[in-house]
Structure 1
Amino acid sequence: MDDVRGIAARVLLASFDGPTLPGWARRRLEQGLGGICLYGTNIVDRPQIAALNRAVHEANPRAITSLDEEGGDVTRLYYLEGSPHAGHAVLGRVDDVDLTRAVAADVGTQLLEHGVDLDLGPVADVNSTPDNPVIGVRSFGADPVLVGRHVAAWVEGVQSAGSGACLKHFPGHGDTTADSHLALPTVDQPMSVLRARELAPFASGIRAGALAVMTSHVVLPAVEPDVPATFSAAATRLLRDELGFDGLLVSDALDMVGASGGRGIPAAAVLALKAGVDLLCLGSSFTDERVQDVQDAIVAAVDAGDLPRERLVEAAGRVDRAVEQVAALRAASTSAPQPEASRRAALEAVDGALGLDRSLRGAQVLRLVTGTNEAVGHAPWGLPAAGLVLGGTPVRDVVRGDEPWHDLGPEPVVVLVRDGHRHAWAEQVIEQVLRRRPDAVVVEMGWPAQDPSEQGRLRTWGASAASSAALDELLAGVAP
């Protein structure tokens, strides 16, 4: 079964800790490992990222390098300082497909420069549930038609720069109130709703030529009851037969509870392959032994007749074809950097009523720390530390249980929050601050629950460095 072992290696997208390629990963790449996915734990700076991806390609020129670079809140290239690119919700709010295409092309130029073959984006989910804990501002919006046109523009922009795009999270993660990193969510809607809402943006991205699609660890009973899409042959048929996608199908990370909870990653890997997944994203912080366990499970499943060898060969073939497609994209790359596009989008997206005719330079800035999801990780957010408003003055982080309204000074007050409506304690802090300082400015930097109706309420539709810089300009009174 040695040939099966080699084929099994080809369908694995592995990971490791640290900023350099470990010896075991190099050896596996030399033996045909399918690829490497980078996470925040791998990031020191951008030259290091480029060197790391070069090392991967030197070990195996046919390996796929990948990471999450959605623009906005989810970034890996800029994990330590925040993304300079406008996020999906910002772009959906502005609703200019040419601008979306330009921002995505700018992202693509950075991916190409740093040796990334496959961008795990765009997010094609329709954020139809404001309480969604994991999608939110990662989505272009709540309207499937709007989301579809921007998904297509993003695909075109990224791929024009020479890196592949991967639509996620099929068939849709927008109508959930649970995070599949931590649980197994369900989207319990009839097929008529799924086709009109969840599937429509994926169809747009496929027509735009997306190289890959990523599965979701979400149960959609109308597609297949009790089975997350990653393990659902019916979901794969929906993608292949109804939407006509014949490209690379990538799993979301198998270390997520929605996939491996109660069964383990090796078993999840076999189930995903059986359902039609081609490239298995194993998750973060893997070791040689853990990769070996997954490879052994795949070989054992083929040996036992539980996983058809033909299915494994088909999956590896799609991985190989994706490598050729990336090479073709790079050969045809025409994009140039367009950094101004993100600044323009971020400024245009901010809405609400500032209600002030004075600068807020030197304001007391309270940042309500409501936490984040694993996709976002620990990328910084808020206002630039050395920007116009703060000017080097530290921001004051407020956590649950704090009562910052008791010792506010006479300076203007700015309150920053993400997804405040999902955290009762944050809403209570805002209420108490406004009771004592009615002139305070409250800025929602996550997904807003409703339109702002009061003066002093702003929405940025994201918390990336691009959105933070735009907010800084607006609060300081220097934005055009």
Structure 2
Amino acid sequence: MPPSSAVETLALRVQVSAFAGATLPADHADLLREGLGGICLFGSNTEAGEESVRSLAAEIRSASAAGGWAPVITIDEEGGDVTRLEALTGSSVLGAAALGAADDLALTEETGQAVGSRLAWAGINLDLAPVADVNSNPDNPVIATRSFSHDAGVAAKHVAAWVRGLQTAGVAACVKHFPGHGDTGQDSHVALPVLDVSLDTLRDRELVPFLAAAEAGVASVMTSHIVVPALDPELPGTLSAPVLGLLRELGYDGPIVSDALDMAGASAQRGIPAAAVLSLAAGADLLVLGPDKPASLVRDTAAAIVAAVESGELPLERLQDAVARVDRLLADFPGTQQHPETDPRFEQRSIEGARRALATASDLAEIPDLTGARVVTIDTEANIAVGDVPWGLPPDVVLRPGEPLPDLPDAPLIVQVRDAHRRPDVGRTVAQLRSAAVLVEWGWPGAYDGQGLPRLCPQGFSLPGVTAVTEMLQRSGWDPTTGSGQRR
């Protein structure tokens, strides 16, 4: 058994922590010098802009280098609905569902590369993307437009293309959420979903995009906090040796990254340090703790890992193996910090892709004359993965579902919603809008009985999607410059 100080260092090397704000706190700098594996950036770290993120990444690298380490610097940058670098404006690239619907693999690969170029320049070397889940349940509250498709084959080829593009830019990809979060009806941030399918269905559907990613050379794979009774009826995937063992059986030998351990699906019943030990023992290599965590949690988690090694609950060899896998990833993706070089025609190609995505899912009964139309947003809270980011066209009126209607403009109404098919209160509010002329569904294009009300489905929010929707509405007479401004 090595000295306890050496085991403590190993216990730090497998952790990725997070903190609030755009500067590195002293206590996290100390942890990085001591061997903390890395930092995950969230909204509060990025809201000051990409120059600020680049500066923060340099601080993180400097602190780690002082201890003789290289850090993982990671982020959730999926494009479309889930963006951290562009959280104030909305993503400039198409999200997964729109890319899958456009079905242009060259555009998907180029999108991954565009994301990777920006991340590399900002000093980030691991992107917790893309989503490899097959969104076979249209009522899924957390995956939805983050998935490339409800079809495993379509999802697989686009996952592989996005991975290739991202890693061409020098940033490691991390496909998620193994073994597949698409056929679930709960959000693992706040609950423990169950994927109750047979092993045959799992292999024929859920695992297909993960296999494609592995064949494309994906650098890492993220776990999911879901129970898969066919593999393990008790523990969620992140903590389950049978689930994570399946990933190794498929031939994947890179690092397994845990989804955030502060999520209810992983730690609600046991706490984060205990979940960390279980996840390592099950086969995970890099533990993401979650956003805005105190340094004391990192130390408590390290102490739990050390205690588990000393008691024999966690074999030392398993911990050493995890660190070795993380070190190999860092050797392959040290962080190039190149300046973004995106083909200037990429923006136009993205808009063309957004037009194709819009055409594939929209329910286009004839759109009536929209001269003088006003935009009404029926505002609903996004899931935690998406967060509080802009979405939709700039509204003239914002409504909350279920609240009494205010006086509305005497004009045709462009009504925009998110995932109305799984929110009955949104549907009831739409039905009360007698002047509604067209519905814009920015979420997953679920079942629709609009009783003649045409529906546009851009399949997720993005700035190219806004352009495509705006063009469609303008062809029916809408003038986006004549709105009365945002009001409630």
Fold conserved between structures, TM > 0.5? yes
Residue 442 of structure 2 corresponds to residue 445 of structure 1: yes
Amino acid at match of 1:441: V
State the shift of 1:395 in Å: 3.0
Report if aligned partners of 2:117, 2:338 keep a CA contact under 8 Å in 1: no
TM-score w.r.t. length of structure 2: 0.91
Deviations along 1:198-246, whole A, 9 cap, x unmatched? 00110001100100000000000111111111011111211112x2111
Show the counterpart of 2:54.
Answer: 50
Match among 199, 207, 212 for residue 204 of structure 1: 212
Deviations along 1:349-383, whole A, 9 cap, x unmatched? 113226247555x5321111121111000011111
Amino acid at match of 1:96: D
Amino acid at match of 2:427: E
Report if aligned partners of 1:415, 1:430 keep a CA contact under 8 Å in 2: yes
**Structure 2: runs of 5+ lacking an equivalent:** 478-488
Q: Residue 322 of structure 2 aligns to a residue in which SS?
A: helix
Show the counterpart of 2:456.
Answer: 458
State the distance in 1 between where 2:16 and 2:62 align.
17
State the distance in 2 between where 1:452 and 1:324 align.
53
Show the counterpart of 2:407.
Answer: 407
Report if aligned partners of 2:148, 2:158 keep a CA contact under 8 Å in 1: yes
Match among 326, 342, 347 for residue 336 of structure 1: 342
Residue 380 of structure 2 corresponds to residue 370 of structure 1: yes
Amino acid at match of 1:29: L
Show the counterpart of 2:482.
Answer: none
State the distance in 2 between where 1:109 and 1:426 align.
38
Q: Residue 270 of structure 1 aligns to a residue in which SS?
A: helix
Deviations along 1:6-64, whole A, 9 cap, x unmatched? 01110001100111111111111111111100111222211111111111112225101
State the shift of 1:290 in Å: 1.3
Show the counterpart of 1:391.
Answer: none
Report if aligned partners of 2:370, 2:412 keep a CA contact under 8 Å in 1: no
Show the counterpart of 1:416.
Answer: 416
State the shift of 1:293 in Å: 0.9
Residue 398 of structure 2 corresponds to residue 397 of structure 1: yes
User: What is the total number of aligned residue pairs between the two structures?
Assistant: 463
1:66-465 correspondence runs (5 A): 66-241=74-249, 243-327=250-334, 330=336, 336-337=342-343, 338-351=346-359, 352=362, 353=364, 355-356=366-367, 358=369, 363-383=373-393, 385=394, 394-404=395-405, 407-433=407-433, 436-437=434-435, 440-450=437-447, 454=452, 456-465=454-463
State the distance in 2 between where 1:91 and 1:276 align.
33
State the distance in 2 between where 1:219 and 1:63 align.
31
Report if aligned partners of 1:164, 1:211 keep a CA contact under 8 Å in 2: yes
Instruction: Please tell me the root mean square deviation across aligned C-alpha atoms, in Å.
Output: 2.0
TM-score w.r.t. length of structure 1: 0.92
State the distance in 1 between where 2:209 and 2:300 align.
36
**Structure 1: runs of 5+ lacking an equivalent:** 386-393
Report if aligned partners of 1:160, 1:332 keep a CA contact under 8 Å in 2: no
Report if aligned partners of 2:257, 2:288 keep a CA contact under 8 Å in 1: yes
Amino acid at match of 1:246: D
Deviations along 1:383-436, whole A, 9 cap, x unmatched? 1x4xxxxxxxx53211132243x6232322110000001111110111121xx2
State the distance in 2 between where 1:282 and 1:122 align.
20
Report if aligned partners of 1:180, 1:257 keep a CA contact under 8 Å in 2: yes
Report if aligned partners of 1:206, 1:245 keep a CA contact under 8 Å in 2: yes
State the shift of 1:280 in Å: 0.1
The alignment-based identity, stated in percent, is 46
